[in-house]
Structure 1
């Protein structure tokens, strides 16, 4: 049984009210009372506080009926901004969104170093710049969330990043010392799964998201929460061994899944077959369109190893939804069909398997909404960012 004092109950009610206002894209006080079950007096007091804090705005809804038009409460999306950062080997993606998760500015910076101090200085410089752009809003930057392609502990300490060879780095504390802003550090696969849950699969309580770029990571959403494990290290599924005594991996093992089913491994194989070390996704698309037999052989082998790992993942977690985050699979229309054809075990059960629409933006999108959820202190965040709403959002700066 959950108990708490008046302040705790007020905080829970506040979070419920905010989540329902966001979920309904604006709602009247009367309807808010109906769907939350809170009495009108509680709604009135909470809404008054939120209006004073500039987190809500009021507007009138157009309707054809006679009588007074209802006043609609909406989240003040420009009251503050979230900054998401995807820190990967070779590049950093920055994404700034408003409080409803609408992108305001995205920027990709190429990295020429893996040195921790140099990257720390680069991140600090860019965060300061974004902070200055948002200083006219009521809350400015409400949080910076950094997605790391490696193992992050429950205390947000970077335990190990194989691609950068970082060990035991406290990026959160180091950034907060340099810049007066709240910083969160999280595994990139967890943030990718969070983006899928918040933006696309609001009703899925058992969602798995598998990132497949420089390595393979698994983000798990259970009942709306990220499943992290005891120390925070859960989800390092890329280091599941699928080929005994196979290719050596930077983690120290041999035959890890990501050595065969990550996009980075595909590009290594592609370089050997074609003698092209600078090939990109446009080249792959051209080879696929031309029905190049070597390219189709590479894709089939890639799908084979994806399927081997997926079979293990499905048997471990019995997911409702599995989302594969891979630019390469998005180029190949038959990818999901061919993967499903290899998942033939009678004891493997899942409801839906698909390729993510978010691509490389998934991590920073998840980072931004993770920051928003923590700032608003709500238990469940459901957003719907459509092309029409994006077009109507307008310029911010």
Structure 2
């Protein structure tokens, strides 16, 4: 426990106050930024900045030329640091009882400039690690110039208080019969889909991938003809070049991208769908040359019913009838049935796309019927969709047929 002081003792709503060390550390560790308050020449200043806690010291990031860092030289700088996490909005029947659920920490003390090179380097590493565990090993360390331009303040955590509100609406009893909605709107900070900088070709690192069901994980799948790896914006140029033939897009649900930027938008839409848990996209590479040759996906992923659909497949014309598509389906079906425990895999295709229907039927799938006026085509007409499926009971025979189709033929005698 932190000992209460006159500055950390509440004058009202004392039931919301706490001096619990673990609770304070949890709030400081969860928050990425804080408000740093201090005075300069008798006038108050408040600056937002990044922070990291190491043990019982709070470190604050800044520039060597900033006011608080300049003022902290010598005897240090008296400061107050505040961190707030907003957990929800409270809607009362009366305007007076609107409120918020939150967790906050206020720390008072004297901050000192970190001058020890080893301590400063360790703190900057800790700041990067707070952004993502493992990031410090996956980025360039600061140069001498960058270290010289960066300053760090150290604030010992000795005078600290925690204040929090939890729970629901606290209306007056006389307001309970009013005809107004009342309740709590929970709030939380969640990460969006990572957006790579221009020119980045490195794949998305594991520490930026959200924890999710194995059904939504685009694991790399390797065969003799094709390798399926997680689709990424870095594939845009090669994927556009490989699938530029208009025939590739003849029966697909979107227009052929006009340029690599358009293909990047197509990839971005697939990655957004993956982030929402709606699709698992792969890029297809030739296993022999490493060239990008197409893309394919799982969609309608349903772990509860142990079912998944395979689609959004497009393959460059030079790789048609080469074994790439057949082996890609074998890899996807093997993962679905043998690794994920699926009992049903589904395909959908345009009723006009007879080539696709024949290819799906060669996989051993059963035609289940036609979904009439199922989707809009890119030209604005309604598409009737043929639906096929393969079950876990049918999978062993289908797998044997696929392997037989991929077996090399006899070499002619000379």
Taking structure 1 as the reference length, the TM-score comes to 0.23
- Indicate the structure with greater strand content: 2
- Indicate the structure with greater helix content: 1
Compare CA radii of gyration and give the structure with the larger one: 2
Q: Comparing both chains, which one has the higher relative contact order based on Cα–Cα distances under 8 Å and sequence gaps of 6 or more? A: 1
Taking structure 2 as the reference length, the TM-score comes to 0.22
